[in-house]
């Protein structure tokens, strides 16, 4: 009998009958997931599938990021910094995946995209409520963004709730105060529906932590992890802007924004300004 060395025999113990058992596909809901791509171009353009899947996978990663960011807020509120750092580590890997996948969309050339861009109507990534939720959790609050989702009750409820709750940075600053650091009272009592505004006295708090790292190691590590989150988010924003620039140049966005110009201005936004400012003070 000839044995085909390039064929792996199916082991007898491997399950093959799933009539009454949960399978991989049923657990993951693959019937729904893999049938959720509905190109609208007619005739259907080959590259529209890339465009749809790129954005759908981004939304899946954003969903997981939201799951982790909410856990970070909860852990900080409970003074559980160790597990908060564990969640941050996972978010950083998610951010890396989100940033790297822009390279896939960048294979879509301007001429290819132009053939079906008009079929997208007014739909735009600007309307991603999960992206806005991530920004709110990190502290970039903007009540004006909520009205974009007035026609979507679920999205509006989520964003309104997060708008009115402390951000990760709010909770970290409150944790510092509970640890005995001289955090300004106005930061502890601030209107959390507004974006955080730079506080010079908070820089002094971080300077103390950084210059006495051995004594405050967990806080020192947390500061650096938050800076990582900020940098990773900026890398994502930059890759987004450059991919848009590469694909449509300086056209207006399908959702009505100015396109590249609007995305460039987002690069000026910061979540944790004092953690960047303190670097100028250390060792000065």
Residue ranges covered by each domain of the chain: 45-243+257-279
Whole-angstrom Cα distance, residue 75 to residue 66? 14
In this structure, are residues 154 and 160 in contact, taking their beta carbons and an 8 Å threshold? no
Confidence (pTM):
0.94
What's the pLDDT band for 5 if we cut at 50, 70, 90? confident
Share of the chain above pLDDT 90, in %: 91
- Whether 72 has a binding-site annotation, put simply, is no
51 annotated ligand binder:
yes
Contacts of 194 (CB under 8 A, 6+ apart): 141
To the question of whether residue 55 is assigned a binding role by annotation, the answer is yes
> What fold characterizes domain 45-243+257-279?
Methane Monooxygenase Hydroxylase; Chain G, domain 1 (1.20.58)
pLDDT of residue 58: 98
Q: Is 53 assigned to a binding site?
A: yes
Give CA torsion, residues 57, 62, 65, 70, to 10 deg: -150
Residue 113: C-alpha distances to residues 4, 105, 214, 215 (Å): 46, 10, 53, 55
Find out whether 243 is annotated in a ligand binding site: no
> Does the annotation place 54 within a ligand binding site?
yes
Find how far residue 255's CA is from the centre of its chain.
Answer: 20
Q: What rounded mean pLDDT belongs to the chain?
A: 96
| 280 annotated ligand binder | no
| pLDDT bucket at 33, cuts 50 / 70 / 90 | very high
């Amino acid at each position: 009998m000839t044995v085909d060395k390039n064929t792996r025999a199916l082991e007898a113990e491997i399950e093959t009958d799933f009539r009454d058992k949960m399978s991989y596909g049923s657990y993951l809901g693959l019937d729904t997931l893999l049938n959720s791509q509905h190109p609208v171009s007619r005739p259907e353009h080959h590259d529209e599938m890339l465009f749809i899947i790129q954005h759908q996978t981004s939304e899946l990663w954003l969903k997981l990021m939201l799951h982790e960011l909410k856990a970070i807020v909860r852990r900080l509120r409970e003074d559980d910094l160790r597990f908060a750092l564990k969640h941050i580590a996972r978010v950083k890997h998610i951010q890396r995946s989100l940033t790297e996948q822009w390279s896939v969309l960048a294979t879509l050339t301007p001429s290819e995209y132009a053939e079906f861009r008009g079929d997208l109507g007014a739909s735009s990534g600007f309307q991603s409520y999960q992206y806005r939720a991530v920004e709110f959790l990190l502290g970039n609050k903007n009540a004006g963004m909520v009205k974009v989702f007035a026609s979507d009750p679920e999205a509006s409820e989520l964003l309104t709730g997060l708008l009115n709750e402390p951000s990760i940075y709010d909770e970290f600053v409150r944790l510092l105060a509970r640890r005995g650091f001289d955090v300004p009272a106005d930061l502890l009592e601030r209107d959390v529906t507004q974006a955080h505004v730079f506080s010079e006295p908070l820089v002094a708090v971080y300077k103390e932590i950084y210059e006495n790292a051995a004594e405050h190691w967990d806080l020192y590590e947390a500061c650096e992890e938050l800076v990582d989150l900020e940098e990773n988010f900026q890398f994502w924003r930059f890759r987004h802007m450059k991919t848009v620039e590469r694909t449509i140049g300086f056209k207006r966005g399908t959702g009505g924004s100015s396109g590249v110009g609007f995305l460039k201005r987002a690069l000026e936004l910061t979540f944790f300004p004092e953690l960047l400012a303190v670097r100028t003070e250390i060792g000065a």
